[in-house]
Amino acid sequence: MIRSGHWTICGKMIKTLLMYDGKMSSAERIAGRLSYLIGNAKVCELSEAPDDLSPYGGFCFVFNFYGAVTAANASIYLRTHSEEMKNSRIAMVGIGFADLGFMNFIVELEKSTGLHDLEGYFLSRESETDRVGAEIGKLMRKPEHPMEEKKIAAAVDAFLSGHTTLALATAARDFIRNTPLEYVCHKDLLYIMTEGGNKFRGILENGRFCAAVFDPFKSMGTTKGLQITGEADLVPVGSAEYEEVMGVKGITKEHLDKLPITMFLIRLTPMKYEMLDTAFAKEGYDVHQTLLTSFQQRNWEAGAVFAKETAARADQKARTESADGEAVEELEEDGEQKENPDLEEGVGQEERSDWEETENLDAADTEDRTDEEASDTDREELDENGELTDELGADESSEIAKEAEVARAAEVADILKEMRAGGGDSDQADEITLPDDGVEEFYDEEEPEVEEPFAFDDEDFEDEAFEEKDE
């Protein structure tokens, strides 16, 4: 009945010696918590480790790590007992603020001890202890004597067929429920008929389950049980699958219709079987075997396809964004707007004609500007100091500046004449004269010494001069 795809076998739970460096330390506290998760372990301080290591197939060291020197005790112990630990599973757990240099420490330790399979784990927060403990537990239960896929599948099939009741556990957030229920096997799936209840909360909100099928305990030498994990959902009432499974149970549609309540059908899709059977050891296998089903294999394949498609979409998006970025850079370099085919397709002919007409009118208006208008416009670009902006040529700028200076000099001369005629300060006026050779010589002359400096501020000077004249 069981059809499996990819599968792995977990070995028996070997005994693990878990040693920490320093009493009353964080290393001691974390080592104790790790022992719960690893299982089948003994915890002790490094200085109190037993002399006889033969009962142990796994070793775990827990120490504070702030550099290689801080792990000296663990390093010394490994070098001293390296011969006894050969072919063992060894985990090194460092505790600290940062793992800088930790993996280099592990590599150097492998070289110095000759133990080439050291597994390093670093804890920067105690909240990571449970995750690391679960990983070390898997390491310690790594396969040693795996059973063939067909053989473990047959063992699981026979065990399920020989039982009718399982304990179903479902959970959601802070809710958890475990219920003993009757089950039926059909097409590699497990089905449960039920009237409903709190167990449905976990199924509806979470969709995951864990179930256990087991023999009554008699002794450690006859222990036998099966743990199942996978996905749980509901079969629609009245569907073809619903009626088919009810038929397997020997319940007809007529009988269901006569019931005063509706019976629901839970479908359990197993992803992993974990079987413990001490009888496996008699055949030379580990007593603990694990089988991953074909449903899990399909999940992995679907996940791989999804990951591949997601990566392809992300790559395509990156390419598009890169192309768009290059187009924007091109646009900025050229200084021209590129045509947008999508935009042009959505624009009507009338709108395009209006745009073209507007552009033509603007071009015609620019061409019709006369030289005189252009000249006036250019002259208006003189700044407050009488200098041209950078838009005029150097020759034209010089010529206009010279004309401005000449006009300025003439204006000053007129003001002086008015001052003389109006009875102004004649001595001061006589000392300020215009040269005959042009404006440049006028500005090159030294300014005459006067009791009160003559100020060439247009507004202040003109107002003062005209006030005197009016008087």
pLDDT score recorded for residue 116 = 85
Structure tokens given for 397:
């700028």
Cβ 92 vs Cβ 120: under 8 Å: yes
What digits encode the pLDDT tens for the residues 8-30? 334 456 899 999 998 888 999 99
Tell me the fold of 16-140: Rossmann fold (3.40.50)
Predicted confidence at residue 389, as pLDDT, reads 45
Three-state SS for 361? helix
Lowest mean pLDDT among 74-83, 230-239, 365-374: 365-374
Could you write out the three-class secondary structure of 427-465?
HHHHHCCCCCCCHHHHHHCCCCCCCCCCCCCHHHHHHHH
pLDDT of residue 394: 52
pLDDT at 362 over 60: no
Q: How far is it, in rounded angstroms, from Cα 204 to Cα 121?
A: 37
pLDDT at 117: 85
Average pLDDT over residues 306-323: 78
Instruction: Report the alpha-carbon distance of residue 210 to residue 229 in Å, rounded.
Output: 4
Instruction: Please provide residue 374's backbone torsions phi and psi, each rounded to the nearest 5 degrees.
Output: -65, -40
- Looking at per-residue confidence, does 308 or 190 come out higher? 190
Quickly state the pLDDT bin for 456 (edges 50, 70, 90).
very low
CB of 228 within 8 A of CB of 272?
A: yes
Confidence of residue 343 (pLDDT cuts 50, 70, 90): very low
Q: What is the CATH number of domain 149-292?
A: 2.30.110.10
Contacts with 20 (C-beta within 8 Å, 6 or more apart), sequence order: 27, 28, 30, 31, 43, 44, 45, 46, 61, 62, 63
Closest Cα to residue 234, out of 214, 263, 254, 211? 263
pLDDT of residue 416: 63
Mean pLDDT of the region 359-384: 49
- Which residue type is seen at 309? E
**Which residues in 65-142 belong to E strands, given as ranges?**
89-95, 118-123
Q: Single out the residue of 265, 263, 240, 243 nearest to residue 253, CA to CA.
A: 243
C-alpha to C-alpha distance for 380 and 216, rounded to whole angstroms:
107
Q: Does residue 421 surpass a pLDDT of 50?
A: yes
CA separation for the pair 130, 404 (Å, rounded): 89
pLDDT tens string 122-132: 999 999 999 99
Q: Rounded mean pLDDT of the chain?
A: 77
- What the block records as the tokens of 284 is 């030379």
